[in-house]
Structure 1
Amino acid sequence: MQKEVAMITGASSGIGREMAKQLSKQGYELILMARREDRLKQIRAEVNTACEILSVDLSIPEECMNVYEKTKEKNITVLINCAGFGAFGTFTDIPLEKELQMIDVNIKAVHILTNLFLKDFRRKNKGSILNVSSVAGLLPAGPYMAAYYASKSYVTSLTLAIAQELADDKSDVYIGALCPGPVATEFNDVAEVSFGLSSISAKDCASYGLKKMFQKKTIIVPSTLVRLSSSASRLIPRKWVVAVTGNQQKKKNKNNK
């Protein structure tokens, strides 16, 4: 019997790396993607199931298409879109090229891979897609990380819409969005921020996310405090939420220390 395969983007570190390890322990074979091939090779040496690695730049749409063409005949039943990054600064200070690359990775890559693999999953009426968003995707806006917050809002909105379409069709296919708050990963260094709030570990975030994915929960928020905060924000005028979020973002600026 052919083993099931889990495909994970952004698997070279953080949440993606931890999910790869945990899914391997559950018996899944792996297809792992990231730009850093050396990191992927390290993970391949650590897991006990078959593991194919693909060094790709998901900011290039054609590479996303190529990934699908290379892997569409595999028995992929889990797709985790984990690749993504952020950037801190005012909207006009962050280099435009960096923000466009962010949009390509955080939005376009997720959109392309979700679209292509979802068609296969729907045809087989089997499969799970977990899009790694952020608590940022549950808030109206994030000053000083404007494009990042907007990109995660796109991921969350897209996921919710597709989930409803699947429910309307009574499909067994699952899609959900993992929306963590602060997580101790390399994200902070790339975005050049330092969280003032306590972070959960990437291992705990991955474990909770996978557990809820298999329980078919659509919006997954790992931290109780973050769940309460995001729920409370819906009761407050959007303008106030944006102002408070902006003040919190300023505190993350490493240059203020």
Structure 2
Amino acid sequence: MTTALVTGATAGIGAAFARRLARDGHNLVLVARDAQRLRSTAAELHDRHGIEAAVLVADLAGDAGIAAVEERLGDRRHPVDLLVNNAGFGLKGSYPDVPMDDELRMLKVHCEAVLRLTTAAVVSMRERRRGGVVNVASVAAFVPRGTYGASKAWVVQFTQGAARDMAGNGVRLMALCPGFVRTEFHERARMGTKSIPEWMWLDADKVVDAGLRDLARGRTVSIPDPRYKALLGAAKLVPRGALGGITSRAGRKYGPRREAPGADTPGG
């Protein structure tokens, strides 16, 4: 039986990955900051699907948390076959009004943690010549949206480059780029969402299903909804800032207030 490790696994896209992978028969290592929610999620998935679900409490905004997950990914006796780097968070407010400490914390979670955990996973996977990594990014990677969009653009570029370098080694890497997903993300960051059209909202379970299909097909970037594919295609024909306006308005609505790291990445 294969094992998948999911960060940000207690809500939103991370929880949807955990549910789907458990249903498919994968053992799980669930990573998040909230020990109680982790244990509750693990117990539910074990009871419902008969899989083993281990918990690893870790804050990926700090070196100790990242190192703990690196160590688990490097355990050759209990190898991880699929890594889902999903942990992330949003910040309200516009540059340069967001506190610098919060911006740096975001880069730690979205970029450094993704780099280190992906590397720890693929080194082991390359030895076994099999495995996969899904790095959850966002359509915000393709539009200007401050540090959040820039960090997700880094995730996409890094993942594509790593996938090219790992070609022929039996390891697949993919950046998953959803749009706005109905999760706890915006509520935790206290972001307003009334300006977001209803048609732009996606379901987390459908996002995961589409992403796993694209991973199986060998794609390195997945935009898991035809509406967003069309929107990004149209964005190539309009000024670059037009598409970013919607997400910028949502992020600014209530002014700068930080969200502590570890919430699930929503996409938009």
User: What TM-score comes out, normalization by structure 2 length?
Assistant: 0.86
Q: Tell me how far apart the structure 2 counterparts of residues 202 and 94 of structure 1 sit (CA, whole Å).
A: 28
Preserved CA contact (<8 Å) 2:12 2:184: yes
| CA apart distance, 1:221 | 0.8
Q: Tell me how far apart the structure 1 counterparts of residues 132 and 142 of structure 2 sit (CA, whole Å).
A: 21
Q: Secondary structure at the match of 2:254?
A: helix
Q: Tell me how far apart the structure 2 counterparts of residues 228 and 53 of structure 1 sit (CA, whole Å).
A: 39
Preserved CA contact (<8 Å) 1:180 1:223: yes
Aligned to 1:255: 254
Deviations 1:32-73 (A, max 9, x none): 000011111121121131000011101112321222224423
Structure 2 CA distance for partners of 1:41 and 1:234, relative to 1, 3 Å: same
The alignment of Structure 1 onto Structure 2 pairs a total of residues equal to: 245
Residue 81 (str. 1) matches residue 82 (str. 2): no
Bigger relative CO (Cα 8 Å, ≥ 6 apart):
2
Aligned to 1:190: 188
Q: Tell me how far apart the structure 2 counterparts of residues 163 and 234 of structure 1 sit (CA, whole Å).
A: 25
Of stretches 146-155 and 44-53 in structure 1, the one that deviates more from structure 2 is 44-53
Matches within 5 A, 1:107-256: 107-139=111-143, 141-142=144-145, 146-167=146-167, 170-195=168-193, 196-198=196-198, 199-236=201-238, 240-246=239-245, 248-251=247-250, 253-255=252-254
Preserved CA contact (<8 Å) 1:61 1:108: no
Q: Secondary structure at the match of 1:217?
A: coil
Q: Tell me how far apart the structure 1 counterparts of residues 79 and 119 of structure 2 sit (CA, whole Å).
A: 17
Q: Secondary structure at the match of 2:169?
A: coil
Instruction: Mark the runs of 5 or more structure 2 residues left unpaired by the alignment.
Output: 256-268
Preserved CA contact (<8 Å) 2:93 2:251: no
| CA apart distance, 1:109 | 0.6
| CA apart distance, 1:225 | 1.0
Q: Tell me how far apart the structure 1 counterparts of residues 228 and 243 of structure 2 sit (CA, whole Å).
A: 15
Instruction: Mark the runs of 5 or more structure 1 residues left unpaired by the alignment.
Output: none
Q: Tell me how far apart the structure 2 counterparts of residues 68 and 107 of structure 1 sit (CA, whole Å).
A: 14
Q: Tell me how far apart the structure 1 counterparts of residues 80 and 66 of structure 2 sit (CA, whole Å).
A: 16
| CA apart distance, 1:100 | 1.1
Q: Tell me how far apart the structure 1 counterparts of residues 94 and 25 of structure 2 sit (CA, whole Å).
A: 45
Q: Secondary structure at the match of 2:207?
A: helix
Q: Tell me how far apart the structure 2 counterparts of residues 151 and 190 of structure 1 sit (CA, whole Å).
A: 19
Q: Which one of the candidate residues 67, 88, 93 is aligned to 1:65? A: 67
Structure 2 CA distance for partners of 1:131 and 1:251, relative to 1, 3 Å: closer
Of stretches 48-57 and 91-100 in structure 1, the one that deviates more from structure 2 is 91-100
Q: Tell me how far apart the structure 2 counterparts of residues 235 and 79 of structure 1 sit (CA, whole Å).
A: 35
Aligned to 1:12: 10
Preserved CA contact (<8 Å) 1:85 1:187: yes
Q: Tell me how far apart the structure 2 counterparts of residues 153 and 84 of structure 1 sit (CA, whole Å).
A: 14
Structure 2 CA distance for partners of 1:31 and 1:23, relative to 1, 3 Å: same
Preserved CA contact (<8 Å) 1:87 1:190: no
Q: Secondary structure at the match of 1:75?
A: coil
Q: Tell me how far apart the structure 1 counterparts of residues 243 and 4 of structure 2 sit (CA, whole Å).
A: 39
Matched residue type, 2:17:
M
Overall identity of the aligned pairs, in %:
31
